[in-house]
Every structure is written in C-alpha cells, then in structure tokens.
C-alpha cells in the first residue's frame, strides 16, 4: 500500500491531541511541526507524532494532508507565506474556532489545493501539549466547511479521519452559519465565564459554590491571545449575541426587582420548557439539525 503523510502544524492542545488520535490511521505517517525547543522535547518524549520538525515548509511539498493548528493569525500568516509550497492535490485543514476569516485567507491557495475549514468542538480549560489527549474528541461534534472545489474523495477521507479520532459526528455547514452559531454556543459561554470571574465576590465565595458555579466558570482561565483573536475576528456575529444576553438579563432583573412573581414565573417557564425540549431532542438523538447534513 502506498505510504502517505499527514503534517500537523502546531502541537498545542488541539494539534497535539489530533496527532495522537491520528496514530495508526490507514497508511499515513504523522509528522508534527513545532516552533519551540520545549514543545519539541515534550512531543518527542510523548511520541506525539512519528517525526517532529521545526521546518513545516520543507514538508509541505510531500504532505498529502496538512492540518493547521496554530492560532488564527498563525494560520493566516502560514497560508499566505507558503501558498505555493503545498502539494498539488493535497487536502489542507485548519481547526480554529472561527471560519469566515480563515476561509477568506485560504482563497490565496492554488485551485488544486483543497482547503476545508474544520472545527472540532472539543477543548479543555487548559492548553498546550502537556494537556494533549488522544481521547479529546470522543463523542464531540466535528464541524466541516468544504471549500468551493472540495472533492468527494477528500470529504470521504476527512470522514474516515474523524471516525478514527472517535468524533461523535461530522456536521457540514457554511462559514457564515458556523460563525453565527459558534458566537452563541461557544464564544458567549467564554464571555459569560470571564464576566462572572470579574466580580469582587469571586475570591470571597470559596465554600459557597456548587456545581452550577464550577460549570459556568470552568472555561474562564482561557488562552488570552487566542481568545482575543477569536472574539475580535468574529465581532460581527458575536456583538448581537452579547447584546441579546444583556437585554435578557435586564428583563429578568426588572421582574425580580419589581417583585412581579407572575411575570418572572412566566419567563422562567418559557426558558425551562425550551431547555427541556432541547434535552428531549438530544435524548432522541436528533442532534443534527435538519439543515446540516452529516457527510455521506
């Protein structure tokens, strides 16, 4: 069987976990690329990939699949700098949490390089190769935005890679739809977590917290440079979602302040019913919205 190669650029939490999870995938050799000596040594010690390099640009002409796992600015720089070094016919992926800006940047690639935007809906509240874990993707969603020239062969290959990494499903969508929904399901959760942690009460409340507090604030210790990029690059979709939350909190607060139990009870009933409906849909396994079809 012909020997093929996957190059994973950046071995942080996601890149390191992907390299580990892809071990043994078909006839592919996994090559990892790092920038720091510290990450290099950790990657070698943990055997995160079959080979580790400091020079991804030298690997590009031989790489059948390239997975870009840097931060958004790193991905965009890399695409621009190396746009003519990718192997013709190769599949290039990224894994970052915004897609419109990345797919725009990828339009600099030659037509015979197939760029597919990806977003594994997996993470941890800690980052870096130290926390890389081959099981990170188990039962999570793998969001996929095909490019204008993506081939069925590449989409099928991506599907097999996702299965090997134990993703729960592969959800195909558009960059715009992705960025709008992620603003709500992911970015807003991070803004809530940091906003809650900004309170003076935070460091007084030890002993008074339950599961809901630990859950809501879990992601607050975030990677600041990464999330600064993610939030600002998706400001267009994120701002209206934050505004909507501000308004809704304001409405709840007015109902509580006025002691209007009837209004408050009616508002809580609607929200609780919506959450129950969502839970029921999940239990039934209707986890994929009809407008987003899994890959064939």
Binding positions for its own copies, 252-281, rule CB under 8 A:
252-253, 256-257, 259, 261, 264-265, 267-272, 274-279, 281
Q: Considering the complex, what minimum distance in angstroms separates the CB of residue 260 from its own copies?
A: 8
> Binders of its own copies among 20-39, rule CB under 8 A?
none
Q: Considering the complex, what minimum distance in angstroms separates the CB of residue 76 from its own copies?
A: 15
Out of 238, 283, 295, 296, name the contact with its own copies by CB under 8 A: 238
**Contacts with its own copies, 51-70, as mask; x by CB under 8 A:** --------------------
The answer for residues whose C-beta is within 8 angstroms of residue 159's C-beta and 6 or more apart is 170, 295, 296
| DSSP SS3 for 72 | helix
Closer of 33 and 234 to its own copies (Cβ): 234
> Binders of its own copies among 173-232, rule CB under 8 A?
173, 178, 180-182, 184-186, 188-199, 201-213, 215-222, 224-225, 227-229, 231-232
Distance CA 81, CA 57 (A): 9
Phi, psi of 158 (to 5 degrees): -60, -40
Chain mean position to CA 83? 23
Q: What is the Cα Rg of the chain in Å?
A: 21
Q: Considering the complex, what minimum distance in angstroms separates the CB of residue 281 from its own copies?
A: 6
**With CB under 8 A, what is the number of residues at the site for its own copies?**
96
Q: Considering the complex, what minimum distance in angstroms separates the CB of residue 49 from its own copies?
A: 25
Q: Considering the complex, what minimum distance in angstroms separates the CB of residue 3 from its own copies?
A: 35
| DSSP SS3 for 295 | coil
Q: Considering the complex, what minimum distance in angstroms separates the CB of residue 113 from its own copies?
A: 27
77, 103 contact by CB (below 8 A): no
183, 213 contact by CB (below 8 A): no
Tokens of 267: 């508002």
Length, in residues, of the chain = 296
**Contacts with its own copies, 77-116, as mask; x by CB under 8 A:** ----------------------------------------
Q: How large is the angle between the packed helices 235-257 and 261-284, nearest 10 degrees?
A: 140
Q: Is 244 among the residues that bind its own copies (CB under 8 A)?
A: yes
Distance CA 92, CA 110 (A): 12
Q: Considering the complex, what minimum distance in angstroms separates the CB of residue 186 from its own copies?
A: 6
113, 88 contact by CB (below 8 A): yes
> Binders of its own copies among 121-160, rule CB under 8 A?
121-123, 140-141, 143
Tokens of 240: 């209206």
Closer of 41 and 253 to its own copies (Cβ): 253
């Amino acid at each position: 069987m012909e020997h093929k190669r996957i190059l994973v650029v950046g071995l942080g939490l996601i890149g390191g976990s992907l390299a580990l999870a892809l071990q043994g995938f078909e006839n592919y050799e996994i090559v990892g690329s790092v920038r720091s000596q510290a990450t290099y040594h950790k990657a070698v010690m943990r055997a995160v990939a079959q080979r580790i390099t400091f020079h991804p640009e030298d690997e590009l002409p031989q790489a059948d699949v390239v997975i870009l796992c840097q931060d958004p600015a790193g991905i965009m720089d890399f695409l621009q700098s190396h746009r003519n070094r990718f192997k013709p016919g190769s599949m290039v992926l990224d894994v970052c949490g915004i897609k419109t800006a990345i797919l725009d940047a990828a339009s600099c690639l030659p037509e015979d390089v197939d760029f597919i935007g990806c977003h594994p809906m997996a993470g941890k509240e800690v980052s870096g190769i130290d926390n890389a874990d081959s099981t990170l993707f188990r039962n999570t969603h793998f969001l996929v935005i095909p490019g204008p020239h993506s081939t069925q062969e590449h989409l099928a290959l991506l599907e097999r890679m996702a299965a090997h990494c134990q993703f729960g499903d592969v959800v195909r969508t558009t960059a715009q739809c992705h960025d709008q929904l992620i603003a709500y399901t992911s970015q807003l959760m991070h803004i809530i977590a940091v906003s809650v942690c900004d309170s003076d009460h935070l460091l007084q409340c030890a002993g008074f917290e339950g599961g809901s507090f630990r859950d809501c604030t879990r992601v607050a210790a975030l990677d600041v440079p990464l999330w600064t990029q993610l939030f600002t690059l998706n400001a267009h979709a994120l701002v209206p979602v934050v505004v909507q939350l501000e308004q809704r909190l304001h409405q709840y607060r007015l109902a509580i302040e006025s002691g209007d139990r009837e209004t408050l009870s009616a508002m809580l009933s609607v929200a609780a019913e919506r959450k129950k409906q969502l839970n029921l849909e999940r239990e039934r396994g209707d986890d994929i919205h009809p407008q987003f079809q899994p890959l064939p």
